[in-house]
Structure 1
């Protein structure tokens, strides 16, 4: 099964069951040290390696939003992200996603050729971000989280996490549409690990089909996260097999985009899945 995604000025497609989004962290404190880049040159090198490995999209983040992380100023985030976007775009036409909740950062990144807004606050932290995305006609990724990163793991609680996350994301999608963002530019992310207990994370992985039933593409960001460590007992450097398995389950449930550190291995998994279960993926 192939997938397609409309950007502002073009459409991208993959013959695999899901798009592969490669992660570039322009941060000194992301949860996996191997994913951090300390300079524009290092970040660009990392991005080009992911493209060479087959990434359909590159996702650049200048603010770590892992549980317990601190807020990064607009000026600092701009200094981390914009030179990197400029350098990648100078050489490659790969679609670039910007992991930000700040309208000024997104606006500046668009000026340098970025293509997608990936907002962990689902357009809630900075309402102007919706206007920026609508004006540019770009896709937006709306993520569910409970509270702010510094405290979201303090005491998360749900009665029915899948139903509650689905309802929240549908409400935020309706908000996006009300601001002028086209329905075919909206992508949903359940926010694995963002204000979730381990049981909640597992329920959301199992419940991807319920999220996909909204009609919006679903992005799953599971790569090497703590929830994989809880299930396998392994440290972050040894969570590749667990990540691949959780992503496989997600794609079988209907996920359209996988946000990962390990692009080549993820593409291999998807290629095998395509050949062995060609009629088993909705």
Structure 2
């Protein structure tokens, strides 16, 4: 069982986490959901499309506009409260590395802290524990938040991702985060070349074999764009191909921009794998 705050999910559920950026400089949506009302409309849309989780972020992952603590709080806390009020059954995640934000959004109703920078602020996992929230352990190879990757090297990138995320999970467990509320994320593109992200995808079953549920954030990433030589707005097919591989290997949570297409991809993989019956299976039976 996977427990995300107040919500429980069976081990065979493949969950869609829809991205909602409260930023002006997102690489993909270019600030389309920066305004609070636009962001709430996005939440309504993805819930209608079948997303089980929304991941709200107040700071762009990479270099860009400076967003201090007060501004991140302004972008996230009140918005989380609005989403919680309108959608009591939705899992609310917040993408942050600051413990002050973690405490505030959990008090406002967040269920999951998506620590995008791999324990940079060790008090963030303590915030998750204090509020009985779930927590994502991300592999960033010790990179500073919002630092662009530069000539990242590994003897074995998958081994490094496993060692670092499992160590983070054990630290989180030690400070009181529930075992069933911890996920690990190899963090495609974060402090990785395209070759590294492709290898992580190809060998994702090794991360799954650790026993910790795996979250992947593949959507429209640069490794997809570089593999196919396509800009951010044309990477959906490549993203879905990578999603299929990750799902087949056992990933559990998929952080995405395109909910409908991802849901269909995951349902098809689950049906091929035998975990989900076809929605309509009348062919050649009449």
Do the structures match in fold with TM over 0.5?
yes
**For the structure 1 residues 150 and 34, does the alpha-carbon distance in structure 2 shift closer, same or farther, using more than 3 Å as the test?**
closer
Structure 2 unmatched ranges of 5 or more? 277-286
The corresponding residue for 1:139 is: 134
The corresponding residue for 2:4 is: 7
Kept in 2, the 8 Å contact 1:57–1:96? The answer is: yes
Aligned-partner SS, 2:176: coil
* Superposition deviation, residue 128 in structure 1: 1.9
Aligned-partner SS, 1:97: strand
TM-score (norm 2): 0.90
The corresponding residue for 2:93 is: 97
The corresponding residue for 1:121 is: 117
The corresponding residue for 1:228 is: 224
**For the structure 1 residues 120 and 150, does the alpha-carbon distance in structure 2 shift closer, same or farther, using more than 3 Å as the test?**
closer
How far, CA to CA, are the matches of 1:108 and 1:149 in structure 2?
20
Q: 1:110-189 counterparts in 2 under 5 A? A: 110-122=106-118, 124-146=119-141, 147-189=143-185
How far, CA to CA, are the matches of 2:271 and 2:240 in structure 1?
17
The corresponding residue for 2:280 is: none
Alignment of 1:52 with 2:21, yes or no, is no
TM-score (norm 1): 0.92
* Superposition deviation, residue 273 in structure 1: 1.9
How far, CA to CA, are the matches of 2:16 and 2:182 in structure 1?
17
Alignment of 1:276 with 2:272, yes or no, is yes
Match of 2:25 among 8, 29, 37: 29
Aligned-partner SS, 1:33: coil
Aligned-partner SS, 1:145: coil
Can you list the C-alpha shifts for 1:201-244, whole angstroms capped at 9, x where unaligned? Answer: 01100111100111000001000011110111111111111101
Match of 1:107 among 99, 103, 112: 103
Aligned-partner SS, 1:171: helix
Root mean square deviation of aligned Cα: 1.8
How far, CA to CA, are the matches of 1:136 and 1:269 in structure 2?
34
Aligned-partner SS, 2:34: coil
The corresponding residue for 1:75 is: 70
Larger Rg computed on CA atoms: 2
Kept in 2, the 8 Å contact 1:21–1:57? The answer is: yes
Query: How many positions carry a matched residue from both structures?
Result: 274
Can you list the C-alpha shifts for 1:64-113, whole angstroms capped at 9, x where unaligned? Answer: 112x3455211010111112112211211211001011111111111111
How far, CA to CA, are the matches of 2:31 and 2:241 in structure 1?
20
Aligned-partner SS, 1:58: strand
Can you list the C-alpha shifts for 1:177-218, whole angstroms capped at 9, x where unaligned? Answer: 111112211100001001101110011001111001110000
